[in-house]
Amino acid sequence: MKNETTDITHTEPLKVLVLGATGATGRLIVSQALARGDDVTALVRSRDKAGDMSGAKLIVGDARDESVLREALAGRKAVISALGTPASPFREVTLLSSATRALVKAMKAGQVSRLIAVTGIGAGDSAGHGGLLFDKLIFPLLLRKVYADKNRQEDIVRDSGLDWVLVRPTVLNNKPGRGTVRALTDLSGYHGGTIARADVARFVLEQARAPEWLHRSPLITW
């Protein structure tokens, strides 16, 4: 198994739009971007839930609405999608793919080319590498429909013609970040793993600038 270690470092300021900004990982993406001096726009469903995002420009609306996305993309150079959806054992899930489809159209209209989308272990060819509990219990009972939509989301991104990176974190935790991650594309023999949301945020922000992982789908873990 080939392990690639990425040291997350600061580079030039970035004009970035963040989707899913009020989620647990999205909040860290926004706060870290602001801390490094980036120019951040956050698309949120409710201004009340984003009351602690001082320094970010807030656009209120639905991420599936192309007209709202076009407004949010004004002046942006990159987009980070940290959209998530609750576990849905019974109902079909379409939010991720619907929002991503609208986002791709809006980005093309606005001539914004860099897209970083956070999905997760279990998407695409990372399926079956989450460890025994995740693969045999959590995934089939709780996340099967969510990941069906994550797979549709990834397909839309790959076919978009944009400068994309699909980031697949392992199981997320809220521990302090370590500042480095392992980024893997060869998952031979890999099963399970965890990573801090803070390190996911750092890695994602780096991909909004760097060319290393363009048009690739790294799984990131500790």
DSSP 177: P
Q: How confident is the model at residue 4 (pLDDT cuts 50, 70, 90)?
A: low
pTM, 2 dp: 0.94
Q: Tell me the per-residue pLDDT of 155-184, one tens digit each, with 9 for 90 and over.
A: 999 999 999 999 999 999 999 999 999 999
Query: What CA–CA distance (Å, rounded) separates 115 from 125?
Result: 20
Query: What CA–CA distance (Å, rounded) separates 163 from 207?
Result: 10
Question: Which tokens belong to 203?
Answer: 């890695």
Q: Tell me the per-residue pLDDT of 26-43, one tens digit each, with 9 for 90 and over.
A: 999 999 999 999 999 999
- Those residues whose C-beta lies under 8 Å from the C-beta of residue 204, and which sit 6 or more positions away, are 29, 80, 82, 116, 118, 167
Tell me the residue type at 150: K
- Those residues whose C-beta lies under 8 Å from the C-beta of residue 148, and which sit 6 or more positions away, are 93
Residue with tokens 């004009």: 15
Residue with tokens 């999905």: 119
